[in-house]
Structures are given as C-alpha cells and as structure tokens.
Chain A
Amino acid sequence: MLTAATLAILIVMFMAICRVVVGPTLYDRILAVNMFGTKTVLLISLLGFVMGRPEFLDIAIVYSLINFISVIAVLRYSDSSIFHHSKQQK
C-alpha cells in the first residue's frame, strides 16, 4: 500500500509539473509549485517509511517550512514590482 501511495503521489507531481509548464497565468504557476512542494513533503515521508528510515521526516519538515517561505516570497515580490513594470510598459 505504501508503494501504491508513493506512485499516486509521483503521478500527481507530474500533473503539477504539467500545470507549471502550461499555466497561462503567473498565479497558476505559483499554485502548482505550492502543490508540488506539499506533494514532495508527502513523498519524502512515504519514502522514509518504504525504505525503513524514519529519520527522513526531518527533511520533510524542512521542506514544508521552505515551501511556505518561498510561496510568501514569490507573492511578496510579484505583488510589488513585476506588475508595476509590466503595467508601465503598457
């Protein structure tokens, strides 16, 4: 069952990558990256159980924190200046 769950998560990760590549707007991309990050957290904790090494969970915790921070960063900087630039160019 663990392996099946790992496979399911891998498939979902692939779907998220598709959305990042296709994504018409910026926000679609951010959303997909966020989802990808959460799925990576899950994947790593599952892998830890599959391979019988639960200390991988440390890495999963780091991931969820880093994921949050990077989403905030993206929002913070996309808010302010990138859009200003594009509007001014128009």
Chain B
Amino acid sequence: MLLAFLVAVALAIVSMKDLFSVIMLSGIYGLLSASFFVAMDAVDVAFTEAAVGAGISTLLMLVAITMTGRSEDPDRHKPFLALAVVVVTGGLLIYGTFDMPAFGSAQAPIHQQVVPRYIQHSMEEIGVPNIVTSVLASYRGFDTFGEVVVIFTAGMGVLALLSVARRPEDIAEIDSLNDSMHEQHLILRIVSKMLLPFILLFALYVQFHGDYGPGGGFQAGVIFAAAIILYAMLFGMSTARRVINQSFIQLLAAAGVLLYGSVGIVSLLEGKNFLDYGVLSDDPVAGQHLGILLIELGVGITVASVMVIIFFNFAGRRENAHSGEENEMQNNNRGNNKT
C-alpha cells in the first residue's frame, strides 16, 4: 500500500512542470519512504530519512529554487538516449535482485557471516543495547568515519563555490530588508521562541540516547541544524549570524571530524587497531561505550555545522541577489523620476 503511494508520487513528480510543486511532492516522498521504513521495522533509517530526506533536503531545495526561478526549462535535447540508458540500467538492477535471497530468508549470506556475531556478542563486547548504533559506530567505525569526511567535504565544496564576500553596507541593507519582512510574523516568532529550547533539548536527547533507542549523531546534528535554520528564517539572517559566527562554525565542522579521527589515533597509539575503543578505559566494555559517545558527538557536531554552513551560504547568496535587485529597481525609479 505504501509502496503504491511511493510509485504514484514518483510519477507525479516526473510529470510536474512547476518546480515548486515538485519540491512539495518530494517532501511527501521523503515522508512516505520514512513511513515505509517504519513499517519495515528499520527505526534508525526511518529516523535519518525523516530528518534528512523530508526536512533538510526540502529546505535546501527551496532555497535553491528561489535563486533559479520557478518553472522548468522547456526540453531542448532529445530524451530517448537517456531513457534507454535508464531502462537498461533499471532492468539490469532488477535482474540482479533475482540472484538475491528472498527477503528475510535465513540462508542469505549476510545472515551467515557477520550478523550472528554482531547480534550475539554486541551486548557483551560493546555494552550498548541498540545494535544499530554499535554496528555503525564500533564494528564499522571506519566506514562511518568515511561518511563524516564526505559530509565535511561537501560543506567545504559549498563554501568554496558559493561563499560570498560581503561589504558592510550590504549588511545594513539586508537588515532593513529583514526587519520589514519580519514584522508581520509576530505569532510565528513567539511560538517558535517557545519551541526552540525544546527542539534543542530534543536534539541533545537524540544525541545521547542513541545507545539505547533509535538516534545518534547524524540525526541529532540535523535536528540541531534545523533549529538554527528556523531561528535564522524567522529572526533574520544577520541576527543568526550574530549568534553563530560563520568562522566559528567552520571551525566546529573541522573539530568534529578531528574529534572522530583523534579517538581513532588514540587507540592506535595505545597499540590497538584504528578506532578500537577498548583501550579508552580500564574496562574494555566501558571503553567501547565512551568511544561510541565521543565519536557520535564528533559526528553530530560535524553534521550540524555543515548543514548550517550550507544553509547560510545559500541563503546569504539569495539575499545578496535580492538586495541587488532592489537596488536596481530603486535606480530605475530614480531614472524615471529624472526623465
């Protein structure tokens, strides 16, 4: 049933021309696929999908669309070649799934080799009730480190491509623009002010409760970033910049990756493998626990600050373009008045 919904929404996305409704639909797509994950009992994945797919990516696409304009360009090239490639690849992928064992089959190779070990020993080796967290952060710690570095690199890429040098008079202008825009949102501002502490608290809960329930660094980072973005949207970009310094947050993004990496190096120095946390404490299980908490913290810091960096840069660029437009309009008006 949910799968049918998914297919219907995907078809609708393809057929839409108005980019704005495409964004709305893709938000729905994210929500739907997350409910699908919930129905399949994959709680942590659903958590991530909820925070990233439905929340942040919709937001970033929205900010992007305000820079590009609303309607899709008419087709200039012939789509048949692309269609053929997609059909062939899709067909091959579906053909590949025939070789896969049936869903939930106990004979599947993944159930033969590592999974029984993870499931049986994770409690005594790691001491963390949520197996997903222990696999993610301890057994597969190296992979997760790679993911964090990828996110960090993405943030740096956005920074390199989009970062804008800003003149002081621009800032004053944006301030006035913001003030006029925000006077009307009184109720929104009050309610958000009430909600913000709870959002931040909840983010911390997700961060440190990741050992016991669904959650962890990635999700908490995204929620944290979402709270900051909410603040920036309602109280103006420059107010938010005053609260969270741009260079400070860039520093934080790097610090998160460093924290993760240095935990690994400490264990290396103690004569164990990279990211083997058993050495962090006298008791290996407690050490594992401490290590997981530390690297989850690193992940959370990096994710949150990279998201905020991306948003600030996109939105800052948009407001620059916007104030430029206003300037032009004013100039035009002046010219008209003179003539």
Contact size range, B: 35 or more
Q: Which residues of A contact B206 (CB under 8 A)?
A: 58, 62
User: With A and B bound together, what is the CA distance between A62 and B215 in angstroms?
Assistant: 11
Determine if B24 and A69 form an interchain contact, defined as CB atoms under 8 angstroms apart: no
Contacting pair A59 B34 (CB below 8 A): yes
Find the B residue at minimum CB distance from A79.
B181
Whether A72 and B28, one on each chain, are in contact in the complex, defined by CB atoms closer than 8 angstroms, is: no
Q: How far is the CA of A88 from the CA of B165 in the complex (A)?
A: 28
Write out, one digit per residue, whether chain B residues 9-23 have a CB within 8 A of any chain A CB (1) or not (0).
Answer: 100100000001100
Within 8 A of A (CB), among B256-290: none
Known: A55-B43, A62-B47, A72-B233. A36 touches B66 (CB 8 A): no
Distance (Å) between the CB of A33 and the closest chain B CB?
5
B41 & A80 in contact (Cβ 8 Å cutoff): no
- The interface residues of chain B lying within 8 Å CB-to-CB of A73 are 58-59, 62-63, 229, 233
A8 to B9, CA, bound (A): 19
- Nearest Cβ in chain B — how far from A31, in angstroms? 10
Query: B27 within 8 Å of A by Cβ?
Result: yes
Binds A, one of B49-57, B82-90, B105-113: B49-57
A70 in contact with B21 given A59-B34, A59-B46, A61-B202 (CB within 8 Å): no
Contact assessment for B195 and A20 in the assembled complex, using a CB-CB cutoff below 8 Å:
no
CB pair B233 A66 closer than 8 Å: no
When A51-B41, A82-B66 are in contact, do A66 and B28 touch as well, CB less than 8 Å?
A: no
A63 touches B66 (CB 8 A): no
B1 lies within 8 A of chain A by Cβ: yes
A66 touches B38 (CB 8 A): no
CB distance from A18 to the nearest CB of B (A): 10
Whether A12 sits at the interface, judged by CB under 8 Å, is no
Tell me whether A80 and B322 are in contact in the complex, defined as CB-CB below 8 angstroms, given that A63-B54, A70-B55 are known contacts.
Answer: yes
In the complex the two chains form, is A80's CB within 8 Å of B181's CB? yes
Say whether A85 contacts B25, CB under 8 Å.
no
User: Do A17 and B21 form a contact, CB below 8 Å, given A58-B206, A79-B181?
Assistant: no
Contact residues, A56-86 vs B (CB, 8 A) = 56, 58-59, 61-63, 65-66, 68-70, 72-74, 76-82, 84-86
Residues of the A chain whose Cβ atoms lie less than 8 Å from the Cβ of B1: 10
Q: Nearest residue in B to A44 (C-beta to C-beta)?
A: B38
A36, A74, A81: the one contacting B28 at CB < 8 Å is: A36
Contacts of A17 in B (CB 8 A): 5, 8-9, 12, 28
Chain B residues, CB < 8 A from A68? 195
Say yes or no: A62 contacts B21, CB within 8 Å: no
| A30–B24 CB distance below 8 A | yes
B163 CB–A CB distance under 8 Å: no
B contact residues around A66 at 8 Å (CB): 50-51, 54-55, 226
Q: How far is the CA of A67 from the CA of B155 in the complex (A)?
A: 24
Bound-complex Cα distance A13 to B2 (A): 10
A7 to B339, CA, bound (A): 67
In chain B, what residue has the closest Cβ to A48?
B38
Listed by A's residue number, 13 A-B pairs whose Cβ atoms lie within 8 Å are A26-B21, A30-B24, A33-B24, A33-B27, A59-B38, A59-B47, A62-B51, A72-B233, A73-B58, A73-B59, A81-B66, A82-B20, A86-B70
- 14 additional A-B pairs beyond A36-B28, A69-B55, beta carbons within 8 Å, are A17-B8, A26-B20, A26-B21, A51-B41, A59-B50, A62-B50, A69-B226, A72-B188, A76-B233, A77-B62, A77-B66, A80-B66, A80-B322, A82-B66
B residues with CB within 8 A of A: 1-2, 5, 8-9, 12, 20-21, 24-25, 27-28, 31-32, 34-35, 38-39, 41, 43, 46-47, 50-51, 54-55, 58-59, 62-63, 65-66, 69-70, 181, 188, 192, 195, 199, 202, 206, 213-215, 219, 223, 226, 229-230, 233-234, 318, 322, 325
For the complex of A and B, list the 5 residue pairs with the smallest distance between their C-beta atoms, beginning with the closest.
A66-B55, A81-B66, A40-B31, A55-B213, A76-B233
